[in-house]
């Protein structure tokens, strides 16, 4: 009762599968990507336009400065008015040193920061 099975339909021998599995167990090269460290310079803002990195578009260039009245401006105007200089109480509103400097990006117009002196 022996069956003659043609060689093409015969199952593979155990020796040939061991050779194929030995190729799978070979050590593969390990590739490790090193993290890239990017040094970000801090935004140092002042009363004049300064170099800053925009948080919105990521461009580093000079900022545009607009002066806005702050609490300090209103208190100085009230103090001048109480001392007797009713006609001089508008001086803090005309002087940029009494106001806060609002920095915006020249590229996209996004808010960068405020300098309060």
Q: Give the integer Cα–Cα distance in Å for 100 and 102.
A: 6
Buried b (16+ CB within 10 A) or exposed e, 73-111: beebbeebeeeeeeeebeebeeeeebbbbbbbbeeeeee
Listed by start position, the domains of the chain span 48-117
This prediction's pTM:
0.62
How far is the C-alpha of 3 from the C-alpha of 49, rounded, in Å? 94
Q: What is the pLDDT of residues 40-82, one digit of tens each?
A: 677 889 999 999 999 888 888 999 999 999 999 999 999 999 9
Structural element, H or E, at residue 66: strand 60-68
d(CA 44, CA 89): 31
The pLDDT value recorded for residue 24 is 61
Q: What is the pLDDT of residue 13?
A: 67
């Amino acid at each position: 009762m022996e069956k003659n099975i043609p060689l093409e339909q015969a199952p593979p021998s155990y020796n040939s599968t061991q050779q194929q599995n030995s190729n799978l167990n070979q050590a593969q090269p390990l590739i490790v990507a090193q993290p890239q460290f990017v040094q970000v310079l801090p935004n140092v803002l002042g009363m004049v336009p300064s170099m800053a990195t925009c948080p919105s578009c990521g461009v580093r260039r000079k900022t545009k400065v607009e002066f806005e009245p702050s609490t300090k401006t209103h208190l100085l105007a009230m103090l001048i008015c109480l001392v007797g200089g009713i006609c001089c109480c508008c001086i803090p509103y005309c002087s940029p040193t009494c106001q806060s400097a609002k920095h915006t990006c020249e590229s996209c117009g996004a808010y960068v920061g405020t300098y309060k002196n």
